[in-house]
Amino acid sequence: MNKVLLASLLVTSLVTVAGCNSDSSSTQSVPEPTGSTGSGSGGSGSGLSAATLALDITSVPDSLAATYSSALKFNRYTQVQTPNGKSIHLIAQDKLSDNQIVRARSILTHYLTDYPGSEYGSDKSAVANKMADNGAILLLLNGQDDGTNPATNLGGQPLYQNEIQVEGGNWYINQTYDGHRDASFEEILHLLHDYGIGVDQNPEFIGASASYQAEIRSAQIVALNDKLWGIGSPDWIAELTLENSLTQEYLATVVDSYYGLWGAWTGSDTHAMWGGYVAKTRAEISNQDPLGAKLMDNKFFHPYLTYDARIDASFEGDFSLKFNANLGYTHHAQYLKYVTLTGDNSSNVIVNGLDNKITGNAATNIVFFSGSSAEYTIEKQADGSTLISDMVDNRDGVNRVIQVEQAAFSDTNIDL
């Protein structure tokens, strides 16, 4: 949801990644990529760097390039392969960074990763397959949603360059909401919701989870009627009603707060989404929107982020996975479990108790723990990683570190 638009309205089954990681409920017929196709392929002669190709990002396949063309500035492609052998396509324009493409794919993969024991997410293969069958495409577009990008009108769910924060990047660390709000989780969720979970009240239900959608609809109706969501924006609500997108926007608002994307916003001490939702944080959802909290409670969405976050190469210093009220980005980073430092800046990681897996970069890296060294065991593994286990319950957990030079404790640093 675009901030400028809303502000004006207020005033008036585990999937397999292949490739480096909605506005509409209608299906699209999209051909599958056809492999090596000369200048349209990701092979030799593609013009993409070895580093880009190593992230499983290729050039746009010829089977898609007639529509998503170089003339419209599309130059890279990745995909999420689904259990039925098809693909969900991610097609990017030329100003997107590789890390932005990776992050978009990672969020989609996170949403589609099985959540064992959950009511609707223990096997997400049907949802993933529906997305592929329904022709789900994520368009990663240059700039922002200001009506100037002609590719906006192509088939696909748009997500703009200026809406994609990368962990460790400047927008992420500074939690920039004006012009660079992290809308990745919202827009990718719209794609999942429209083409995978499914939306009721359309001429045809094309999704895979009518039961979960029924719960989402019930929670949305209560939230709207009780003025928990859509607060002060009647024109926007009227527009969503005509589009039959009330449930998609409501669920995206809940998910954004659930994963900490509004905790650092200073526009309100109590409300999220530019004042339109009563809860900024996960705890506030439980207190203020109990049916919204129920949608997140062992239903479909993991309580932590399942993807490996690539910390941007520009980052330098200590990246905290532990919540720190003085570091706004940790409202979100507290839910990260796996991180990889990129680039060659000396950067470090503070663990958060989620049994982290931390991979170092080309520089010297340190991982920080809460207690004294005597309270941990350090075990070198056959694969070269090091397992560092906290013997104090409910603190730092069991952490695997890879290509990390030191572990820092409250009393000393130990070389690994």
How much is the mean pLDDT over the chain? 91
Question: Is a pLDDT exceeding 50 seen at residue 5?
Answer: no
The per-residue pLDDT for range 88-144, each reduced to its tens digit, is 999 999 999 999 999 999 999 999 999 999 999 999 999 999 999 999 999 999 999
The tokens for 31 are 């051909």
The per-residue pLDDT for range 26-77, each reduced to its tens digit, is 333 334 443 333 333 444 447 899 999 999 999 999 999 999 999 999 999 9
Q: Which residue has the tokens 């969900």?
A: 88
Closest to 24 measured CA to CA, from 166, 122, 139, 160:
139
Tell me the one-letter amino acid at 11: V
At 233, the pLDDT band (50, 70, 90 cuts) reads very high
Q: What is residue 364's predicted lDDT score, i.e. its pLDDT?
A: 96
Give the orientation angle of helix 246-258 with respect to helix 184-192, to 10 degrees.
Answer: 130
What is the Cβ-side half-sphere exposure of residue 356, based on CA atoms within 13 angstroms? Answer: 28
At 23, the pLDDT band (50, 70, 90 cuts) reads very low
The gap from C-alpha 194 to its chain's centroid, in whole angstroms, comes to 17
Other C-beta atoms lying within 10 Å of the C-beta of residue 226: 12
Find the helix or strand (DSSP H, E) in which 219 lies: helix 210-225
Closest to 10 measured CA to CA, from 2, 21, 18:
2
CB 321 within 8 A of CB 331: no
* Residues whose CB is less than 8 angstroms from the CB of residue 415 and which lie 6 or more positions away in sequence, other chains included: 405, 406
Question: Is a pLDDT exceeding 70 seen at residue 289?
Answer: yes
Closest to 272 measured CA to CA, from 42, 1, 79:
1
Q: Enter the pTM of the model.
A: 0.90
Q: How far is CA 138 from CA 88, 187, 195, in A?
A: 8, 9, 11
Q: What is residue 119's predicted lDDT score, i.e. its pLDDT?
A: 98
The per-residue pLDDT for range 299-330, each reduced to its tens digit, is 999 999 999 999 999 999 999 999 999 999 99
Number of helices (H) and strands (E) in the chain: give both, helices first: 13, 16
SS3 22: coil
DSSP 60: P
